[in-house]
Every structure is written in structure tokens, then in C-alpha cells.
Chain A
């Protein structure tokens, strides 16, 4: 199967440049569907308890290359497959607008397929060296995907920002794998795992932390998140959806995988992850609220959701560390389920944002408004996703957050003081995240889709083609299905969670603890829908005989309201920004109106990231100003440059000699 997988990839990549523009997309998509079928079959087998393992001989450099597809990989493979199938379908239609850029499309198709193959292989490769190579392929192909619109300066800048930061991530991973290889003499995860079982304490914690930092860059934990809000808005919609839906999840996968392999001191690691995650969640959503660019807003929301997933991992890890199996089960279950949930609604949100962009050619929400009348289906899809991402019932976001709450409250019952403070912190964080997400999405949905159009567009704004909406409805189907039949989907989680918890008692806990509750929630969700429909029908029946009038909106007696008088996104969040001012950073340009007959005034605000300023901009500026002292070296004369080369070579040769002489001299003096 693996040769088939690779053969399809290579064949398609080699043929894409030579086929017609129309067939490029179809070819890539077909390759992904076939490969998804192959891997999906293996993954489903693994989820039912039949893991797959094969070992390639490899080369002398890498050692044997082990491919192991266990339940954890299977779960992620299914998610990747699903998002790539829907995203690819969506992207096929999204890219029709760029038909004239044939070469660019070939490159994009190749990158897309490579990204898919790299992500799939990352979930199964268990050899450090090859893992790094696949990681690099993923990073590069995503980079190519991001800079599709490379004629725009901002896009290229965002792409480079991403590229640099993902290489910092690779640096940390490389450090980790090198250390592991130094200690064990092999790149195989299994060997590392055997080695760390005997090793306890600081060594494993530090090794794990190195990996954690590396993966945290990819996943977007605060403070390693700064590339996300640039890369997502710059990329085409399907790429942003896929990046946010699955690519950053590979960071989560890495963390979980390393947890299985390294088995660090789970309690300490758990507390660290929990705190980092709560901060990520809060910080992400707090910054999401102030964004004006729809995709940037969604990108910050990804940081928030990574925080929620991280909280689940943290809880699970603490559960493992303290021997609380129920907590471990609930924590890991919440994390894994939320990985999927987030992949679903975040990709849906990015796709609908892509629709909005295609229809209006802008993502600045201050210029949008009233789109629900022009694009009712997109608006409806966005609304479902917005409710789901805010964690509200009866959709899927609620289920995973509910499991997380159950975990927290279960932990509460037998916790000591210190952990109680952690629990209260986590509960407060989760509640605030939920509330802030609601504020953010009422803003996004309300401003983009509701009210009147804030700006007249020169072109016709209309709904995208129906084919383009099909994958989105497929995603909605799962969002709703998880909300209404959570029990069924939780059953799929039993294998991966047992693997993570390292205990087969998980299934029993699921049965006793969660399934009944989920049954009740499912009933409640159905009841809720029935209730709404009943009241709605009553309302229809009652108001059928009444007179219904349509008038302008009530304007407090003012008869000539204009669309510009509507509440804007900035005004909607003004009381929030005022309240949280010390934590936010925003550059403002304004001109106040003065006098009885005021001239034109304006107000602009550009939200910025305080952490980015502190951690990235300021150090770079300091570094630059330090380096600018050596600017005299760069004087433009070739002779000098050659001289530098000579000086460099001489010093490289002479430094060891000088050092030896120095040591010798010291020894000489000591004899005195």
C-alpha cells in the first residue's frame, strides 16, 4: 500500500506541469481521493484495534525507517483526509478565478499534493531523521501554498515570516532528535521509548520541553504564535482552511506522540501545558476580537482553539501523572475530539470567508455588511460554524468543551489546594474563552452578514456556485451530527484515548461516565430542536391571520438614516477595547471633528500584537541597531571583501594553534 501511495504521488507530481489547466485540479484531487482511500482503510482498521506496522531497511544515515500506524495516527489521518477531500474540492472551484496563471497553478497543485502526503507521512513515520525531512517538506510546500498570490508584497512577507518561524521550529525538533540519537544511537522512536522508560526526572522533562517548543511553533501556542495571523490571511481560502484545520494540528499530534514516546514526568508537564494553553486560549481570543480582517480574526481564533485542545492535553497528562484515570480519559478525549471539531468548523469558517472574498474582493469587515441577503447560503454556513466555534449547544463545539468541563469538575472533587487553584484558573479561562468567542463571532457575523452594506461595490455581489458549497454542506453535516449523536463519535475515540492513557480501562470509563451523559445531551439537543420548531410553528400559525407590515428600521425619529450610521465592528467592541486596554495594542490615526460646521473627520485603528512587539520586533530592532555599528565593514570595495575572507580563513586556522599555545603558556606559568 505504501508503494502505491508514493507512486501515485510521484506520478501525479511529475505529470501536473504537462496537462491542461482544466485537468490539473482534477488530477491532484483524484490523487488525494485515492490516497485518502488507501490511508483511510488502514486508519479505520487501526481504530478498530489492528495497528499497522512496517519497517523499511533505510540507509546507513537514517537507520531502519519504521512506519507505525496506531490509533493516534489513525485519528489524525482520518481528520487530514476529511479536510483535504473537502478542502481540495472547495479549492478546485475557488481556484477557477485564477485559470490564466497556468504555471502558478501547477506549482500550487504540486505543493498541495506534497502537503497532503507530508502530513500523512508525518503521522506514521517513527524515525527521527525521516520525520524531520517530511516536516521540512510540509513546511516548504505550505510556504508555496501560502504565497500563491506572490505579486502582493504582504503575501510574500507573510510567507517569509512563516518560513522563518517554521525553521525555528525545525531547529528545536532537530535539537531534540539529535540529543535523542546521541543518547540512544538510533533515530527510531521505539528505541527512544525504551531508553526513556528507564530514565526519569529532569532529562525526560527537558527533552520533552524541547520537542514541545518545536511543536508549539507549528501548533501556535502563545508566545510562538506570531506567524499564524500573517500566514492565514495571505493564503488562498482552501489553504488557510487546511493550514488552520490540520497543519497546525500536526503540532498537537507531535506533542501527543512525544508524550507517548518520551513518557516524561506527566504531572509537571501537564501543569506546564495547562498554563500555557489557558494563556494561549485567552490571548488568542482577546486579540481575535479586535481584528478587522476576517481571516486574521479567524487565525487568532485558531490560537484560541489550540489553547482549548492544549487544556485537554494538560488535563490528560495531569491525570496520568496523578493516577486519576477518569481525568486522563476525559482530558485526552476532549483534546482529540476538539482537534476534529476545530478542523471542521475552522475550515468551514475559512471557506466561507473565502466565499466572501470571492464575492466582494475584500476581507476588511468594516467595508462589508448585509451580505446575508446576497449570499444567504454562505451566511447560513458561517452562522452554524460561528455557533459551533463559540462552543454553544447543540453543535459539536459544545461537546468537546463539555467533556473538558466534566474533566475539570471531576478533578475538582478530589483535588488538593494547589491543584484547586489550577482548576479555578482553568475554569475561569475556559468560561472567559467561551464568552469572548461569543462576543467575537456575534461581531464577525453581525457586521459581515447583517444590517446594510457599508460600502457599495462596483461589481455585482452574488453567491458562489453551488458546487463550491457542496463540501461546506458536508462539513456542516458532521458539525451537526457530532452535536446530536456525540455517543457514536466518542466510541471512535476509545482506541486512541486508551493508547494515550496507556490503559485499557478507558472503555469502561467511557461506558460508565461519559456515554450516559452524552445520551442525555443528545436527548436535550433533540428536545431543544423540537421545542424551537414547535414554537416556530405556533408563531407561524398565530401570525398567519395578523397583518404584517414592512417598514424601515426604527431610528428614534430620525427619518434619513444611512448605512454609514450603522454600528461598525470597532464600535461594537469599543467597550471591550476600553476595558482591556492595558492588554491590547492598537495604533490609531484620527482627526476629530470640531466646530459647529465640522470638516471631514476620520478614525482608523490598526490592531497589533503586544507580545509580537515585545518578543519579535523589539529584539530584532535591538539586534539591528547593534549590528549597524559594523556597517563600516560593508563598504562596497571588492578588495576588502576578499581581505575579510582571508582574515576569516587565517583566524579559523590560527585560533586552535593560538589556543594550544595559550594553554601551553599557562602550564608553563603553573610550573613556576
Chain B
């Protein structure tokens, strides 16, 4: 069951690689939140109910509802154009994403750790690298934040793999990360969005010392 969900998570990555619009990204993030919710529900059966409730609340409320809505709100408020504007064509994004998955599979092969569930590792690593790739190749600041959120999801998957053994620690970290990201996002975008019409990373280049 978990394997199926995690493979679905990988498919959402492929979908994200070829998506054109920011709204699609947000939808995919929400879907990932729901997927993580179910994975957490199935996987973390051994930890105490309170903790489980907390994690589930975090995934379903924060990842699947609050953050997407907040992102939509920001999109609307700042009149950000709806195209994702990648540097690399979507076709090559897809090929690179596929390569990322294949390479993580190879990477997982080199790890000789009996406790680690390989599929969790593969999915987590692919998600993480894909998030980095997303940040590297998309033009807008808001897509950076989305890439960051994808990375968060990857780390969450990895923490789920060891969640039964040490639940609290990892989760606190994740919560903090999410709040921090949203907070930065809010301040950052509101401020920049008010001053400049176009929120383009390339404009940050003009800040460099010559």
C-alpha cells in the first residue's frame, strides 16, 4: 500500500516537471500533502495517538490546505503571471527528472543499511533532488518557494521511514521549516511584490557587487 502511494508521489513529480502553470504546481503540492497524510497514517502505526494526531494534522491541514491556499492568495495578491517560465524546456526537465529517479535508485543500491526501507529512501531522495532542480531552473521567486516545499516533502518522507523509532524530533524540525518558509514567503513577496511589478529572480542579479 505504502509502496503504491510513494510511487504515486514520484508520478506527481513527473507531472510537476512538465506542468506549465503555477496553479498546477500548487495543486500538485496539495496532492502531495494528501499523499503524505495517507502514508503517515499507514506507516506510523506504532507511535502514540497524540503524536500521530499531531503529524496527521500537520500534513492534512498545513501541507494540503493552508500552504496551497496561502500560495494562491499570494499569486492573486501580487498579480504574478500564471506561467512557470522555466529556463529548460519541459521535455528536458522530464528527462532530467527521470534521470534523477534512476540515479537515486542506483544510489540506494550502494547503501548497505538493513534498517532503511529502500523505497522510502529512493522517493525521498528523488523528491529532494527534484526540489533542488525546480529551484535551479525556474525563473520566479515563488517557484523557489515551491521547490523548497517539495524538498520539505522529501525530507518528510525520509523521516517517515524512521518515524516509528524517533517521531518527535524530525517532525518538530519540519514544522519549523514550514512555518519559516511560509513566513519568509509572506514578508518577502508582499514587500517585493508591492515595489516591483514583476517578481523575477533575474532582477536579484542586479543586487550583486560589480
- Nearest A residue (CB) for B109: A417
The B-contacting residues of A in range 570-594, CB under 8 angstroms, are: 579, 581-582
Contact between B106 and A579, CB atoms less than 8 A apart: no
A421–B105 touching, CB < 8 Å: yes
Residue of B nearest to A420 (CB): B105
Tell me the smallest distance from the CB of B54 to a CB of chain A, in Å. 37
Q: Are B106 and A421 neighbours in the complex by a CB distance under 8 Å?
A: yes
Which residues does A use to contact B, with CB under 8 Å? 417-418, 421, 424, 579, 581-582
Contact across chains for A418 and B109 when beta carbons are under 8 A apart: yes
State A579–B92 Cα separation when bound (angstroms): 9
Asked whether A579 lies within 8 Å of B102 as measured between CB atoms, the reply is: no
5 sampled A-B residue pairs with Cβ under 8 A: A418-B106, A421-B102, A424-B102, A579-B91, A581-B89
The residue in chain A whose Cβ has the minimal distance to the Cβ of B98 is A428
Nearest chain A CB to B185's CB is how many angstroms away?
32
Q: Which residue of B lies closest to A425 (CB)?
A: B102
Please indicate the chain A residues that have their CB under 8 angstroms from the CB of B91 in the complex.
Answer: 579
Closest to B102 in A: A421
A579 to B93, CA, bound (A): 12
CB distance from A616 to the nearest CB of B (A): 26
Inside 8 A of A579's CB, which chain B residues have their CB? 89, 91
Interface range, B side: under 10
CB distance from B16 to the nearest CB of A (A): 20
Q: Which residues on A sit within 8 Å (CB–CB) of B106?
A: 417-418, 421
| Closest Cβ neighbor of B92 among chain A residues | A582
- Give chain A nearest CB distance to B168 CB in angstroms: 35
CA distance A153 to B51 in the complex (A): 80
> How far is B96's CA from A582's CA once the two chains are assembled, in angstroms?
13
What chain B residues lie within 8 Å of A581 (beta carbons)? Answer: 89
Is there an interface contact between A417 and B105, defined as CB atoms closer than 8 Å? yes
CA distance A418 to B107 in the complex (A): 10
Residues of A within 8 A of B105 (CB): 417, 421
Q: How far is the CB of A578 from chain B (nearest CB, A)?
A: 9
- Residues on A with beta carbons closer than 8 Å to the beta carbon of B102: 421, 424
Beyond known contacts A418-B106, A581-B89: 13 more, CB 8 A cutoff: A417-B105, A417-B106, A417-B109, A418-B109, A421-B102, A421-B105, A421-B106, A424-B102, A579-B89, A579-B91, A582-B88, A582-B89, A582-B92
* Residue in chain A with minimal CB distance to B91: A579
Chain B residues within 8 Å of A421, by CB: 102, 105-106
Over the window 142-162 of chain B, the binary record of Cβ atoms lying under 8 Å from chain A Cβ atoms (1 yes, 0 no) is 000000000000000000000
* Chain B 58-117 residues near chain A, CB threshold 8 A: 88-89, 91-92, 102, 105-106, 109
**How far is A418 from B105 in the complex, measured between Cα atoms in Å?**
9
Measured between C-beta atoms, what is the minimum distance from A62 to chain B in Å?
A: 49
Q: Considering the chains assembled together, what is the distance between the CA atoms of A581 and B91 in angstroms? A: 11
- Alpha-carbon distance A582/B102, docked complex (angstroms): 21
Q: Using CB atoms, name the residue of chain B closest to A583.
A: B92
Contacts of B89 in A (CB 8 A): 579, 581-582
Which B residues touch A418, using CB under 8 A? 106, 109
- Ranked 7 nearest A-B pairs via Cβ: A417-B109, A579-B91, A421-B106, A582-B92, A421-B102, A418-B109, A418-B106
Residue of B nearest to A416 (CB): B109
CB distance from A420 to the nearest CB of B (A): 9
Closest beta carbon of chain A to B151's beta carbon, Å: 25
Residues of B within 8 A of A417 (CB): 105-106, 109
Of all chain B residues, which has the CB nearest A581? B89
Bound Cα distance A626, B92 (Å): 37
B112 nearest CB across to chain A (Å):
13
Nearest-Cβ distance from residue A583 to partner chain B, whole angstroms: 9
User: Distance in Å from the Cβ of B100 to the closest Cβ of chain A?
Assistant: 13
Task: Determine how close the nearest CB of chain B comes to the CB of A268; give it in whole angstroms.
Answer: 17
**How many Å lie between the Cα of A328 and that of B89 in the bound state?**
40
**Which residues does chain A contribute within 8 Å of B92, judged by CB atoms?**
582
Measured between alpha carbons, how far is A418 from B106 in the docked complex, in Å? 7
Q: Which A residues are CB-close (under 8 A) to B88? A: 582
Q: Which residue of B lies closest to A582 (CB)?
A: B92
Task: For the complex, give the distance between the alpha carbons of A417 and B111 in Å.
Answer: 13
* Distance to closest chain A CB from B96 (angstroms): 11
In the complex, A147 Cα to B183 Cα: how many Å? Answer: 72
